[in-house]
Chain A
């Protein structure tokens, strides 16, 4: 799949933003006044910023509100509802903390649940697609929720939780990669099934339908060099998980925390680039590209 910057930015930032909202909703940390204001500002900047970035890849962003209508079948529509609901509930809850110094616990829990639901809906946009075998696994929502929870804990300064969740997310990440590498092969889709000609013999793409490129090739056929991918996986693991864990084990300091968050964001962005770039869409089979 084409690793579009808008979608990478969207899933990385909003995942982290909603992750922070989950912890704020749970009252970890319980903050009020200006400190609460700064926490909520960061969470909303990430979550809303990510959502706005996602509208950049739309052909008609001015019609985006129509995406609220099909929640019965569409995960994208459900994500829109969950995100708006989470942001509204958390705004009321946050206003209580910032302006009145009171924590309405049940609102926080609802907001946290809705924030987690938003991340789940986002992950299911990808996890539902049978056409991309690497994504079509229950591990995809597990991975994106684990990253969101771990990153949120890191950003919320929940050291103990982050020290548990970051390694957990790293393990899910590695398992997801290893399983994903054989997903296309074990999906049963190949050139023989795509063309229905496998019964005659070995199928080879002889001539594409056109001399140039097209939308399908640009959007769905992106081939990453194997060496390149292994290097990027290493970078994602070190920056996204190992460095933050190492820094959390050191005595706490705001500068170290900032470096930990920056490293985590960079690592997750690398992992998210791979999430798209390495994903093989079965339409590539028609072009002999798999």
Chain B
């Protein structure tokens, strides 16, 4: 049924740290790898070795340049996949009931045997989370690796989405965002986690942690705590304020010319 549940028992989702993401695309590759071999139709590529390769991906990493009013621009890598919205517009528009949001954990899924490939759900999603597979003619989307997180055949540490498991920077976190005491909820609280396009009213479950302010060369580092000694500090001091020896003579000689 494409009516959305009144509430879900849990809200499983991701917290993505824009401060630590290094833009390596490892999550993109592991997502494609896992999801092409497991749940549902494979994620096909068209002309993978041709002049104009395209393919289906459930997770893509954008890169943005953000220019503050003053100071240097910042480069931010931005992974984007399904946000498993509480008020998922992709579900209600589905004419066949193929799209649904699970009551037990809030995951938004597509039952591919019911999908007619009309594409309306992808039209309704503001985030570009759904992609029609060109070979299968059905809609593909992030399943939050539903076939990993409950999979007792996998070692316990692997029972998280493939993107989370593979991230070398620890920029992706998985957990229950409906439980205020979960690690992910605490992280969101502490770091000011945000929604993407809140004005669209989709109430995304996934949260993004904004980048922290960067250190600046022209500003002294924040004062160190009492007794906290930087062992490298003596070595990093300028060796000489005034030039000496040959360089000093040359400097003076050139000055006189």
Chain A: residues with CB nearer than 8 A to chain B? Answer: 1, 57-61, 63-64, 66-70, 72-77, 80, 125, 128-132, 187-189, 191, 193-197, 199-210, 212-216, 219-220, 281-283, 286-287
- Nearest A-chain residue to B200, judged by Cβ: A130
Q: Which of B28, B55, B75, B199 counts the most chain A CB atoms within 10 A?
A: B199
Contacts of A59 in B (CB 8 A): 115-119, 132-133, 136-139
In Å, the complex CA distance between A287 and B98 comes to 28
Q: Closest chain A residue to B194 by CB distance?
A: A196
Is B86's beta carbon under 8 Å from chain A?
Answer: no
Within B97-134, which residues are at the interface with A (CB < 8 Å)? 97-98, 114-120, 122-128, 131-134
Chain A residue with minimal CB distance to B131? A215
Counting chain B CB atoms within 10 Å of each CB, the highest count among A64, A132, A195 belongs to: A195
Point out the residues of chain A lying under 8 angstroms from B97, CB to CB: 66, 69-70
In angstroms, Cα B74 to Cα A25, docked, is: 64
Closest Cβ of chain B to A190, distance in Å, is 9
Q: A207 and B93: CB pair below 8 A?
A: no
* CB contact under 8 A between A64 and B116, given known A130-B201, A207-B63, A286-B128: yes
Residues of B within 8 A of A (CB-CB), count? 70
29 contacts between A and B (CB under 8 A): A59-B115, A59-B138, A60-B116, A60-B138, A63-B114, A66-B116, A67-B95, A67-B118, A69-B96, A70-B95, A73-B92, A76-B120, A77-B95, A77-B96, A128-B93, A129-B124, A196-B194, A196-B195, A197-B76, A200-B68, A200-B210, A201-B67, A201-B68, A204-B65, A214-B54, A215-B122, A215-B134, A219-B122, A286-B80
CB distance from B197 to the nearest CB of A (A): 5
Determine whether B64 belongs to the interface, using a CB cutoff of 8 Å to chain A. yes
- CB B110 to nearest CB in A, in angstroms, measures 12
Residue of A1, A57, A203 touching B66 (CB-CB under 8 A): A203
Kindly provide the distance from the CB of B92 to the nearest chain A CB, expressed in whole angstroms: 4
A1 and B122 CA atoms in complex are apart in Å by 12
Q: Which residues of B contact A58 (CB under 8 A)?
A: 116-118, 137
Interface 0/1 of B48-62, CB less than 8 Å to A: 000011111100111
Chain B minimum-CB-distance residue to A72: B3
B245 interfacial by beta-carbon distance below 8 Å = no
Task: Knowing that A68-B95, A287-B62 touch, tell me 15 more A-B residue pairs with CB under 8 angstroms.
Answer: A58-B118, A59-B136, A60-B115, A61-B116, A70-B1, A72-B3, A76-B120, A197-B211, A205-B62, A213-B54, A214-B54, A281-B123, A286-B62, A286-B80, A286-B127
Verify B93–A212 contact, CB threshold 8 A: no
Q: In this assembly, does B21 line the interface, its C-beta being within 8 Å of a C-beta of chain A?
A: no
Q: Which 10 A-B pairs have the closest CB atoms?
A: A59-B117, A59-B137, A209-B60, A201-B68, A76-B95, A67-B95, A283-B128, A66-B96, A207-B63, A77-B95
Residues of B within 8 A of A75 (CB): 93
Closest to A197 in B: B66
- CB pair B123–A129 under 8 Å, yes or no, is yes
Question: Which chain B residues lie closer than 8 Å to A61 at the CB level?
Answer: 116
Is the CB of B208 closer than 8 A to any CB of chain A?
A: yes
Q: Once bound together, how far apart are the Cα atoms of A202 and B54, in whole Å?
A: 30
- Hey, which chain B residues are within 8 Å of A64, CB to CB? 116
Q: Is B94 an interface residue (CB 8 A)?
A: yes
Task: Among A125, A197, A204, point to the contact of B120 (Cβ < 8 A).
Answer: A125
- CB of B96 within 8 A of CB of A67, answer yes
Known pairs A59-B137, A204-B64; A283 contacts B94 (CB<8 A): no
Interfacial chain A residues near B73, Cβ < 8 Å: 201
Contacting residues, chain A, for B64 (C-beta < 8 A) = 191, 195, 197, 203-206
B72 to chain A, nearest CB (A): 10
Q: Give, as a whole number of angstroms, the nearest-CB distance from A171 to chain B.
A: 28
Q: Which of B147-189 contact A (CB under 8 A)?
A: none
A-facing mask of B3-43, CB < 8 A → 1, else 0?
10000000000000010000001001000000000000000
User: Is B250 engaged at the interface, CB distance under 8 Å to the other chain?
Assistant: no
B234 at the A/B interface (Cβ < 8 Å)?
Answer: no
B146 sits at the interface (CB 8 A): no
Task: Give the Cβ gap from B188 to chain A, nearest Cβ, in Å.
Answer: 13
List B195-216 residues whose CB lies under 8 Å from chain A.
195-201, 208, 210-211
